Every structure is written in structure tokens, then in C-alpha cells.
């Protein structure tokens, strides 16, 4: 973690409001870029792309060559942790991730002691990115938060309601707690190693925080995220951390207070007024343009982007989407959005 040169995005995470909000875009390295598709076609598979530093560095840097973004984010995936734990993880074309689902009886197959060794290529990618980035650019590392990762490990794939994991937690509370403990420990090791490899800030992707009642949200989301923040900072004092609890809704204030994150990512369904009133004054917010507004582009996109910037003008704000950019996004719309946020055109 280096702060010897002013990095607008890192400074914003640390609570310092900038003249204009810095910007990065979730999934900014991805299929909407033809150069990404070309590299992806050369790889043996998605995980091979994640584990090959030459390729992962290249795709991480591609969006910064096109757009004046304030940060690079490590190209990887939240499911490298279950893969590193020894669970079978594969990415099927047109289907997404497929895992051999764990059960209460098969948790013993997981091997936490092999995580960092398995993820050594990802850490090498971070070291190379650190060396390649312009000094004013922030380098973002990340991992999936335990509840979100657990939903894939238990369900064997993504789902709209995470029913398999929700039922598992209710029917097998001890086994579920064991799985969460394994994921918390692995996440702390992984994120601390990312800081050591050169990350300036890390983000916790709690992509499936929705569909939980307030009791489950406190247990499955807030508790594990708080433990990770505390565990990472025990090894990396004052480590800058962004939490992204997608779908937190009315739980967002409790999440921010309990976890101690430096910044909170807002999904695109979070009303601006609600966020302004419920996220503590002075805490950094990140977000939250609807990705489909970026696909459609034009006046509606620009109007909404200006509304978001104006809503958070009195606090540290990182401009971003409220979820990941989608493959059909026109490149010229991204360029227009970045220019608008950076004040390069009216």
C-alpha cells in the first residue's frame, strides 16, 4: 500500500473529498472491450486467464488505456477462493460458474492451508500491476464476502434467491458456521497478502446481500464482514477497505457502523436521498449508476450521473456503477461518462 504520490481515489476512500469524484467501474475489464475478448479467446479457460499473470495484467490495464479511470482493479474472480480451498470450480460457456456443491458432510474436503499457495499467481499479477501503473492511479484488490461465496459453494451455481444456502444455514447451523469460519480466515489471509503485493485498497463484494431478513443479514453479512475488516487491519494497520453489500437496503446503516469499512458501495436501487440520510455524514460512498443507463446512454444517462454527483457533493464520493458493467455496453458511452465525471466536457 503506497500513498507517497497523491492518488485521488485512495484519498477519497480515506475520507478526503475531491474537487470532482474519482471514477472506476465495476467489471471495467470485461467483455464489452474487444481487446478483452481477444485475450480471453487465447486463454484455455476463464480460470486460466485469472491464474496467468501475463494475461491478467494485460486485461486489468486495458480499460485504463481507453479511459481516464482513477484505478485499476485486479482481474480475478470471487470464486478463486473455493477453487483454492479444493472445491471443484469450472466456468461453462453460456452457463457461468458451476461448482460441485458442498454439503454438511463434505466440508472436510476443504483445505484452508493451501489457499495462498494456490493463489500465488493472482498475487504475482498484483505485483506486476503495481509496477506497471502510473503512480497517481489506485490499485484495487478484492475478494468475495463469505456469504456470497458460500451461496455458490452450497448451491453449486448462482441463483436468483440463494434458497439452497439460506436453507442450509437454517437446517445445518453448525456446518454453516464452520464454512463461514473457513471463508473468513481464507479471506483475511488473501486480502492481507494482496496489500503486501501492492494493493492500495480492497473491496469486499457482498453481491448477494439481498434476500436475507434482518436476522440473517446480521449473522451472514455483517458479522463475517466485520471479522474480515478487523482481521485484515490486525495485519495491515489502517487498511483501506470498501464494502459493497448489494441489496442491503434498510440494513446499510447497521452494516457501515458494525463493519468499520472506510467506504460503502451503493447498488443502483438505493435512493440517493436515503443514502444521504442513512450513511453517516463524512463516510465515503461509492456508486451508483444503473448499468443499463450506461448501455442506453444519451441524455438520460448524463442527467442521472449529474444527479448522483450532486447528491453526494457534500461528502467523499467515488463515482461507479451500482453493479458491474454489462457486455453489451457501447464503448463510446463509457468514454462519455468518464469525461462527464472528470469534468472534461459539459
**Per-residue pLDDT tens over the stretch 282-326:** 999 999 999 999 999 999 999 999 999 999 999 999 999 999 999
pLDDT of residue 220: 98
Which grid coordinates belong to 346? 459539459
Q: Which of 266, 246, 240 lies closest to 78 in space, CA to CA?
A: 246
- Please list the active-site residues: 27, 31, 40, 77, 152
**Per-residue pLDDT tens over the stretch 159-204:** 999 999 999 999 999 999 999 999 999 999 999 999 999 999 999 9
pLDDT of residue 100: 96
Residues 6+ apart with CB under 8 A from 81: 115, 119, 143, 144, 149, 183, 186, 187, 190
Residue 4: which pLDDT band, with cuts at 50, 70 and 90? Answer: low
State mean pLDDT over 27-34. 97
Residues 6+ apart with CB under 8 A from 4: 135
Sheet holding 317-321, edge to edge: 71-73, 138-144, 201-206, 241-245, 263-265, 284-289, 317-321
* Residue 297 exposed, middle or buried by CB count within 10 Å (0-12, 13-18, 19+): middle
pLDDT of residue 111: 96
* H helices present in 45-145, as ranges: 46-50, 53-66, 80-85, 115-118, 120-132
What's the Rg (C-alpha) of the chain?
A: 19
Domains annotated for the chain, with CATH where assigned, are 8-341 (3.20.20.210)
Residue 3: which pLDDT band, with cuts at 50, 70 and 90? Answer: very low
Judge whether residue 2 has pLDDT over 60.
no
Residue 346: which pLDDT band, with cuts at 50, 70 and 90? Answer: low
DSSP letters of 203-243? EEEETT-TT--HHHIIIIIIHHHHHHHHHHHHHSTT--EEE
Write down the pTM of the prediction: 0.97
**Per-residue pLDDT tens over the stretch 98-110:** 999 999 999 999 9
**Per-residue pLDDT tens over the stretch 97-140:** 999 999 999 999 999 999 999 999 999 999 999 999 999 999 99
Is beta strand 96-99 parallel, antiparallel or unpaired with respect to 89-92? Answer: antiparallel
Amino acid at each position: 500500500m503506497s500513498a507517497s504520490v497523491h492518488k485521488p481515489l485512495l484519498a477519497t476512500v480515506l475520507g478526503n473529498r475531491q474537487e470532482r469524484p474519482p471514477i472506476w467501474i465495476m467489471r471495467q475489464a470485461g467483455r464489452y472491450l474487444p481487446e478483452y475478448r481477444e485475450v480471453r479467446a487465447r486463454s484455455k479457460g476463464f480460470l486460466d486467464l485469472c491464474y496467468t499473470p501475463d494475461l491478467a495484467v494485460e486485461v486489468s490495464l486495458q480499460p485504463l488505456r481507453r479511459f481516464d479511470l482513477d484505478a485499476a482493479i485486479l482481474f480475478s474472480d470471487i470464486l478463486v477462493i473455493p477453487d483454492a480451498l479444493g472445491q471443484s470450480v469450472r466456468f461453462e460457456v453460456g452457463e457461468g460458474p458451476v461448482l460441485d456443491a458442498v454439503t454438511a458432510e463434505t466440508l472436510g474436503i476443504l483445505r484452508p492451508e493451501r489457499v495462498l499457495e494456490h493463489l500465488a499467481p493472482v498475487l504475482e499479477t498484483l505485483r506486476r500491476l503495481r509496477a506497471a501503473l502510473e503512480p497517481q492511479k489506485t490499485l484495487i484488490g478484492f475478494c468475495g464476502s463469505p456469504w456470497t461465496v458460500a451461496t455458490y459453494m452450497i448451491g453449486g451455481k448462482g441463483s436468483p434467491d440463494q434458497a439452497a444456502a439460506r436453507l442450509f444455514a437454517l437446517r445445518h447451523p453448525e456446518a454453516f458456521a464452520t464454512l463461514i469460519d473457513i471463508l473468513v480466515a481464507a479471506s483475511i489471509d488473501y486480502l492481507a497478502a494482496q496489500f503486501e503485493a501492492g494493493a492500495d485498497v480492497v473491496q469486499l463484494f457482498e453481491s448477494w446481500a439481498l434476500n436475507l431478513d434482518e436476522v440473517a443479514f446480521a449473522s451472514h453479512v455483517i458479522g463475517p464482514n466485520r471479522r474480515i475488516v478487523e482481521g485484515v487491519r490486525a495485519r495491515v494497520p489502517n487498511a483501506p477497505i470498501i464494502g459493497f453489500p448489494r441489496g442491503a437496503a434498510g440494513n446499510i446503516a447497521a452494516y457501515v457502523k458494525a463493519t468499520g469499512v472506510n467506504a460503502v458501495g451503493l447498488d443502483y436501487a438505493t435512493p440517493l436521498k436515503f443514502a444521504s440520510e442513512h450513511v453517516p455524514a463524512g463516510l465515503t460512498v461509492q456508486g451508483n449508476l444503473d448499468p443499463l443507463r450506461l448501455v442506453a446512454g444519451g441524455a438520460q444517462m448524463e442527467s442521472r450521473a449529474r444527479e448522483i454527483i450532486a447528491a453526494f457533493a457534500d461528502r467523499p464520493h467515488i463515482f461507479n456503477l451500482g453493479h458491474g458493467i454489462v457486455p453489451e455496453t457501447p464503448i463510446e458511452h463509457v468514454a462519455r461518462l468518464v469525461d462527464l465525471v472528470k469534468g472534461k466536457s459539459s
